[in-house]
Structure 1
Amino acid sequence: MPTAPTPIAALPTPVPTTADPANFDTRADALLEAMPDMVTEMNSVADVTYDNAVEAAASAAEVAGQAAVAADAAGLVGRSTTTLTVGAGTKAVTLTSAKASLMTAGRQVVISLLSDPSIRMIGVIAASPAPTSTTASVTVTSGGVFGSGSYSSWQIMDANFFSPSATAAEVWEGTSEVAPMTPKALMDSMAPVTVSYASTLALDMDAGWYRRCSAVSASFTLGVFTNAKAGQPFVLDLVNSAGSVVLAVNAVWDFADGLLGVLNPDNGAKNKIAGIIDEVDGSGNVTRGTLHVIPGLA
């Protein structure tokens, strides 16, 4: 703890002045007699000030050391203002306040945009830099690219410590136990995803829960969905691009309330199928589900 200095005693007053020659000598003597004590007191204050400064410097060094330990523990390799284009290939990254202990060849790292960690590249440090260098060469593969664009404000983390927010695909897959769910991830997962027309529409639930087919050109069968999980809801928007469209369904599907699934067959009709997956097999294929068909207007 810092030490409070002892206050310096006030000098005798009133002070000597030529405006009062009758008292000048007496007051001057008193002032001069007080000077040695004042010097001693000032030296004492200086000693206390110096000791406090030394203690503060030691505390700052300790805090800096603890911060470095915490950064290492959190896997922070460093930050960079190098302009990098998001994509596969070799990235020469010049780091600021780099952690030499983490800049080792073969270490997998994540280069993420500071303002939006969903924009990131995952790669491997190709070679340990020289002891005096803070530039690392990171090899990024095509599978480790998320997002696009060029930026110059990056954070480089040990991949073992990096946990970005969930992507829409991770929400659909529902398998990650570490990716945090954010409002953006939730809304992204609810956005409609285009599906092409096929005579049998067998949706992959890992590719989206809200699907849209804007060119239903003929009658079709709603097939067995894959990569599904019991309890998953889904919505399928359908826009007819031809007339006389009729819906058939695989035997795994039942209609809610015993209703028959009848679409508006007219060209231009906008139909909707909503449902819930009740049961799946060990491979994620739907074995039972419930549908509700909502005929739309042309």
Structure 2
Amino acid sequence: MQLKNNVTTFILLGLTQDPLKKKIVFSTFLLFYLGTLLGNFLILVTIKTSRTLGSPMYFFLFHLSLSDTCFSTSIAPRMIVDALIKNATISFNECITQIFSFHFFGCLEIFILILMAADRYVAICKPLHYMTIMNRRVCNVLVAIAWVGSCIHSLAQIFLTLSLPFCGPNIIDHYFCDLQPLLNLACADTYMVNLLLVSNSGAICSISFVMLMFSYVIILHSLRNHSAEGRKKALSTCISHIIVVIMFFGPCIFIYTRPATTFPMDKMIAVFYTLGTPLINPLIYTLRNAEVKNAMKKLWTRNLITDDKK
């Protein structure tokens, strides 16, 4: 690795170089990150402690919140700290680590969303066989496959990054390390690496999005045979999932399915799916889900009663 690279550190330009705007970035995204941690922590604790949230849907929601938390943590803390620094730098090894963790938890979120769509399909289209098909053993195996698949995807990103020689310049026009902005710094022909990037990250985003939207079309079409009450409940759940899918996959497809060219809007679009979506997900899944809200109220009430007895 060191034989190919003369660069040992990279300079991250961040979202802005203006001192006043950097303070705004610091305060805004600190609040975003704290909100993400709080919202997802509440979901994790609620699902783990509640007896009423034991269905496969909430098992997958637990892992979605976990991946959201880790996904945001792979980017936000450094971004927030870098906003206070005049010249933000990141070592080559730290850059590699960030690429791995960012793609690992981002890909894990994609796979979990697919599992949640599959769960809804079985629950709505095959309700009598739901608990047989989506038993705990099957759910554990599916989640394990998602974790392994995410690891394979991230290792592919690392392999592509390590195949690039860097001999200067070392300025990354972004607020985190990713393979795409690094392609602009490589002192070699990056056509094949970019092609592999599109066929890897781009294909995962595009194919997964098409699969998810197709599955929800089938689900929504099958709801015509359900009762009005059942149709309303299923619609509420599916619409929540569709909102999450569109918000997450739209920016990802824009970034990863095109050649390694940069646009002024790229960094703001990246903010949306790296920090915005992990913050919005808990709000969508709690505000639009009566069972989760009731479980949170019971947890809060139980804690208050326990505190009063003390």
Structure 1 and Structure 2 fold alike (TM over 0.5): no
With the shorter chain as reference, the TM-score category is: under 0.3
> With structure 2 as the length reference, what TM-score do the two structures score?
0.18
| TM-score relative to the length of structure 1 | 0.19
